[in-house]
Amino acid sequence: MSRAPLPSGGPVVVTGVGAVSPLGNDAATIGAALLAGRSGVVEIAAGDACRGERQFAAPAALPSLPGRPDLPDDRLAAMCLVPCTAALADAGLDPAAAADPRRVGIVMGVGAEQLKSWEADFLAGGREVFAARRPPGLVHRLAAALCIGGPATTVAAACASSGYALAMARRWIDAGLVDACVAGGADILSPTGFAAFYNLRALSRRADDPSRASRPFDRDRDGFVMGEGGVFLVLESSLHAERRGARPRAVLAGAGMSGDAAHMVIPSADPAEASRAIALALADAGVAPADLDYVNAHAAGTPVGDVAEAAAIRLALGAAADRVPVSSTKSMSGHLVSAAAAFEALVCLVALEHQAIPPTVNLDHPDERCPLDHVAHVKRERRVDVAASNSFGFGGANLCLVLRRAA
C-alpha cells in the first residue's frame, strides 16, 4: 500500500552529514581537528607522476562500511558511497522506507569522474573508455545503491563542483521537485592530477615539513596541497524535517553564483564577478555584511588566487570586511578539489555548532595584499550565527553558500 508523502515547505535545512576526509571520517572528529589546528598533510610515496624529490598530500582513509559487501572497488565510487550512507543515517532518512522514494534526489559534484578509469585504460592500451559495456554513470549507480528513486545528476564546476551540487539540491527542494536530497561531492588523489596541477604551477613545491606546506594568505605561500575525500549533506525542507522528527543542524540560507571566464586557470584580475557571487548569496539569505560572523575562504594558497579572493571579499563586504573573521581551512585539509566546497560547508557547520572559528594555520606573515580579519594559528571563540563559504573554480565558476544556525 502506498503511503502519502510528508508535506514540504519552509527553509531548506541540513539534517545529515557524512564525510571521508584527511581530518577524519565524521563531523565530530573533523571538528575537533579543525579547532585544534591539526594538519592532515603528510608525505606520501612519490609515484611516476611526481615532479619533485618529495610528494606532500592530504590523503583520506576509507573506512569499512558494515552491512555493505557491495562497496565498489573503484576508489571514487567508494569515496561517495561511504559518506552518502553516513549522511542518510545521520539524518535518520532511509529512502527505501520513505513515503515515496521518488521524492528523494541526489546531486553529486565531481570534476573528473572517470580520471582513474582513463589512466588505467591508457596503460592498458586505450580501448575501454568508450566501450558500451562500461557501467552506468556513478551518480546513477549511487542512487540505485541507496534506493533513491528521485532525480539524480552530476555537476562539474571544477573546485566549486560540490558547492554547485548543494545549491542545485536546495533549488530542487524550494521548487517542490523533491522533499529531500543528498548533495555533495568527492575527489581522489591521482597521478594525472598531481602532474597536471604541478605543471600549471598551482601546487606547492615546498619540500621541508608537510604540515607547513599549505599556507593560505601567507606571504611565503607557493601553491596548494592536494587532498582527497568525499562529503555529502542531506538537505530537506524544514517542514518535512519537522514532520518526521529530524533535528536540523543548520539552515542552508543562501547561495550565490556567477561566472567570469577570464582565464582557464588564473582568477580574474577584476574582483567584480567573484564579489557578486558573495553579494548574491548574502542577499538570498537576507543577511547584511555586518551581520556575517565568519567567512570560510576558498583560499588555496596560490600567489594569485588568495589576493583575488581578498579583493572580492572586501568589495562584497565593504567596511564590514575589517571586522568579519576569515580563515582558510585548506591550510589543514589540503585542497579536496571537487569535494572542497562541501567539506568547507561542513567547516561552517562546525563553527556554528561550536561557536568557534577554525584557524588558518601556517599564517606566519599575512600578505599585506590580503587585508582581512585573519584568524591565524589558533581558533577564535565567538558567537557564530551566520557563516559563509566561498568556492572559486578554474574557468571562473564562482560560488558562495550562506549557512545559518538552526533555531
Mean pLDDT, rounded, for 256-262: 91
Residue with cell 575562504: 297
**Of residues 84, 181, 240, 298, which has the active-site annotation?**
298
| Active-site residue, from 84, 159, 181, 348 | 159
Q: Are 231 and 171 in contact (CB under 8 A)?
A: no
Residue 386, C-alpha cell as written in the block: 551566520
Do 28 and 80 fall into the same domain? yes
Residue span of the structural domain in which 280 resides: 255-405
Residue tagged 567539506 (cell numbers): 343
Give the chain's domain count: 2
Residue in 84, 181, 335, 370 annotated catalytic: 335
Q: Give residue-wise pLDDT tens across range 309-341.
A: 999 999 999 999 999 999 999 999 999 999 999
Mean pLDDT of the chain: 91
Closest C-alpha to 44, from 190, 220, 196: 190
One domain for residues 334 and 380:
yes
In this structure, the answer to whether residues 49 and 125 fall within a common structural domain is yes
Confidence of residue 2 (pLDDT cuts 50, 70, 90): very low
- The label of the residue with cell 558562495 reads 400
Helix runs in 266-369, H state only? 272-285, 303-317, 330-333, 340-354
CATH of residue 262's domain is 3.40.47.10
Is the confidence at residue 292, as pLDDT, over 60? yes
CA distance 258 to 278: 9
DSSP string, 127-151: -STT-TTSPPPHHHHHHHHTT--S-
Active site residue 240: no
Secondary structure of residue 18 in the 3-state scheme: strand
Find out whether 169 and 151 touch, Cβ atoms under 8 Å. Answer: no
Helix (H) or strand (E) holding 391: strand 386-393
Written as nine digits, the cell of 360 is: 588558518
Shared domain check, 287 and 178: no
In which element (H, E) is residue 255 found?
A: strand 250-259
Is 329 a member of any domain? yes
What pLDDT is recorded for position 188?
93
50 is a catalytic site residue: no
391 within domain boundaries: yes
Active site residue 298: yes
